[in-house]
């Protein structure tokens, strides 16, 4: 029986494993194995909500073991570290518990078809101090760590007898792409809700300050100018300080230093600027990568040097030709691209198993949406939806944003479970605080 190994249980990888399991795995036509270093999955665009405390991780995470059991694939916990293309093997690190004790030793996994969907990490561009002093939002653990730090900082400010120091209860978010802007808007609301739960010595209008820093000449540089400017106005009206044309030279223990020498005091610093693929992919067993460690793939999503290995999502540099709406570059690292590629590979892997010629994948850009929490949602719709491009804001944009997550849930769970989970969350929301307080 052919063995299909998918490394990475993010949006694309888990959707692909689920669909292949429901068909090939259930019928015994192939053995589907999903490998991930975590036990649970969360949709990555939701990490800013977990960090801000507006979403409870426990209500949205998907347990890999349960998903595998229900959908006829196998799950192996572990972190991929290497590859032997000649023997068709991948190598996994030993899996350790929180105390550093070994749960599972180093292992090898054989594959007939390998799909690499390991996602991306933030790119600090070698900026001094980022690794030591800045928080990132790369995983649910990172998001929960930020939320805990934020809560502790508010409680500390409530308890201390002395006046607040410069920068205390200030947050500096470096990078004004979708993640940075969404986090800023969510934090504005949730920090004030946290303070409302008895932290009467903290003045939300005077003590709490959120700063968004962007090296480009405007925030949300990937969106049309009008939407960027409208979003900047909304953030400033909330009281968020926006710094554009401001390149960070270093992250300090208690703030941020700009290239011009100016220092911005901050108790919490979040790095949300730039992405790159994991370091272990770089020149892995001869596979071709670019400067961001992304695997170079053909239009079929096969790696350029091995047709048995596919790559998808943020870790793949997939061509986006001008003839199909691109700019001659590569497909952007977006959740919608991972979703499309999972759908495409689901069909192509079945063709591959019966020896049929593979079809090329072409990215369809349906636009971008940025949620500003309860205040607004902005974005643009384009491509296959309307044949052009229009800018959208407000309630309609918010509904479109919510629908993206529902499409992901439908791909994993189907209509019945998605509807029941949604109803359960609505009921729970009416009986619990709207911000996570622990």
Residue of higher predicted confidence among 366 and 280: 280
Domain check: are 294 and 339 in the same one?
A: yes
Task: Tell me what the mean pLDDT of segment 348-370 comes to.
Answer: 90
Q: Is residue 243 part of a domain?
A: yes
Domain check: are 315 and 246 in the same one?
A: no
Q: Is residue 437 part of a domain?
A: no
Task: Give the domain extent around 420.
Answer: 368-429
Which H helix or E strand runs over 230? helix 225-238
- How many angstroms from the chain centroid is the CA of residue 395? 24
Lowest mean pLDDT: which of 56-65, 159-168, 375-384? 375-384
Q: CA 428, CA 422: separation in Å to the nearest integer?
A: 10
Q: How confident is the model at residue 382 (pLDDT cuts 50, 70, 90)?
A: low
Q: Provide φ and ψ at 165, rounded to 5°.
A: -80, 165
Question: Residue 386: its pLDDT value, please?
Answer: 44
Q: How confident is the model at residue 393 (pLDDT cuts 50, 70, 90)?
A: low
Cβ pair 273, 174 in contact under 8 A: yes
Domain check: are 165 and 218 in the same one?
A: yes
Question: Residue 399: its pLDDT value, please?
Answer: 77
Q: Count CA within 13 A, CB hemisphere, residue 405.
A: 18
Q: Among 361, 391, 410, give the residue marking a domain's end.
A: 361
Domain check: are 349 and 372 in the same one?
A: no
**Count of Cβ atoms closer than 10 Å to residue 76 Cβ:** 17
Domain check: are 165 and 182 in the same one?
A: yes
Which H helix or E strand runs over 77? strand 74-77
pLDDT tens column, 166-208: 999 999 999 999 899 999 999 998 998 898 888 888 988 889 9
Domains held by the chain: number: 3
Q: Is residue 258 part of a domain?
A: yes
Residue of higher predicted confidence among 377 and 138: 138
Domain check: are 288 and 158 in the same one?
A: no
pTM exceeds cut of 0.85? yes
Q: CA 219, CA 245: separation in Å to the nearest integer?
A: 10
The dihedral of CA 376, 377, 378, 380: what is its sign?
Answer: negative
- Of 38, 152, 158, 8, which is closest to residue 98 (Cα–Cα)? 38
Domain check: are 98 and 136 in the same one?
A: no
Q: CA 311, CA 180: separation in Å to the nearest integer?
A: 27
In the block, residue with structure tokens 């079945």: 350
Q: How confident is the model at residue 387 (pLDDT cuts 50, 70, 90)?
A: very low
Task: Tell me what the mean pLDDT of segment 393-406 comes to.
Answer: 75
Joined tokens for residue 67: 């998903």
**Count of Cβ atoms closer than 10 Å to residue 102 Cβ:** 10
Q: Is residue 81 part of a domain?
A: yes
Q: Is residue 436 part of a domain?
A: no
Longest distance between any two alpha carbons in the chain, whole Å: 73
Joined tokens for residue 41: 């999955």
Q: Among 225, 255, 271, give the residue marking a domain's end.
A: 271
- How many angstroms from the chain centroid is the CA of residue 69? 25
pLDDT above 70 covers a percentage of the chain that reads 93
Q: How confident is the model at residue 89 (pLDDT cuts 50, 70, 90)?
A: very high
Q: Domain of 80: which CATH number?
A: 3.50.50.60
Lowest mean pLDDT: which of 108-117, 319-328, 370-379? 370-379
Residue of higher predicted confidence among 346 and 373: 346
**Arithmetic mean of pLDDT over the chain:** 90
Domain check: are 356 and 265 in the same one?
A: no
Domain check: are 39 and 14 in the same one?
A: yes
Query: What is each CA distance from 409 to 18, 88, 385, 404, 419, in whole angstroms?
Result: 11, 32, 21, 9, 10
Q: Among 332, 361, 390, give the residue marking a domain's end.
A: 361
DSSP lists the bridge partners of residue 235 as none
Using left for φ > 0, alpha for ψ between -120 and 50, and beta otherwise, residue 28 falls in left
Domain check: are 264 and 281 in the same one?
A: no
pLDDT tens column, 239-279: 999 999 999 999 999 999 999 999 999 999 999 998 899 99
pLDDT tens column, 62-81: 999 999 999 999 999 999 99
């Amino acid at each position: 029986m052919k063995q299909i190994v998918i490394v990475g249980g993010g949006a694309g990888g888990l959707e692909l494993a689920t669909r292949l399991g429901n068909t090939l795995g259930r019928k015994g036509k192939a053995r589907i194995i999903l490998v991930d270093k975590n036990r649970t999955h969360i949709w990555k665009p939701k990490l800013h909500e977990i960090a801000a405390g507006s979403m409870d991780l426990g209500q949205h995470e998907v347990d890999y073991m349960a998903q595998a059991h229900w959908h006829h694939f196998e799950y192996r916990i572990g972190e991929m570290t290497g590859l032997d293309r000649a023997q068709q093997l991948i190598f996994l690190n030993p899996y350790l518990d929180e105390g550093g004790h070994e749960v599972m030793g180093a292992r090898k996994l054989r594959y007939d078809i390998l799909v690499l969907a390991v996602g991306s990490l933030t790119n600090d561009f070698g900026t001094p101090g980022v690794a030591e002093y800045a928080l990132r939002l790369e995983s649910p653990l990172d998001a929960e760590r930020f939320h805990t730090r934020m809560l502790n900082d508010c409680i500390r400010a409530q308890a201390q007898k002395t006046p607040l120091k410069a920068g205390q209860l200030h947050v500096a978010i470096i990078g004004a792409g979708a993640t940075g802007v969404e986090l800023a808007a969510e934090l504005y609301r949730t920090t004030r809700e946290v303070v409302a739960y008895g932290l009467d010595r903290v003045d939300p209008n005077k003590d709490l300050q959120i700063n968004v820093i962007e090296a480009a000449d405007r925030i949300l540089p990937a969106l049309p100018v009008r939407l960027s400017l409208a979003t900047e106005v909304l953030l400033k009206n909330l009281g968020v300080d926006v710094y554009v044309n401001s390149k960070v030279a270093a992250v300090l223990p208690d703030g941020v230093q700009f290239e011009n020498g100016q220092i911005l005091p901050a108790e919490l610093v979040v790095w949300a600027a730039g992405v790159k693929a994991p370091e272990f992919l770089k020149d892995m067993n001869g596979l071709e990568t670019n400067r961001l460690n992304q695997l170079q793939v053909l239009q079929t999503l096969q790696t350029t040097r091995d047709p048995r290995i596919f790559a998808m999502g943020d870790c793949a540099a997939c061509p986006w030709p001008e003839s199909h709406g691109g700019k001659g570059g590569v497909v952007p690292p977006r959740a919608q691209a991972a979703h499309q590629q999972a759908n495409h590979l689901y069909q192509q892997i079945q063709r591959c198993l019966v020896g049929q010629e593979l079809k090329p994948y072409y990215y369809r850009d349906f636009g971008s949406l940025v949620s500003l929490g309860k205040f607004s949602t902005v974005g643009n719709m384009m491509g296959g939806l309307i044949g052009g491009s229009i800018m959208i804001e407000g309630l309609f944009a918010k509904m479109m944003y919510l629908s993206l997550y529902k499409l992901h849930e439908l791909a994993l769970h189907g209509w019945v479970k998605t509807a029941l989970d949604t109803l359960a969350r609505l009921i729970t929301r009416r009986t619990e605080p709207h911000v996570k307080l622990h």
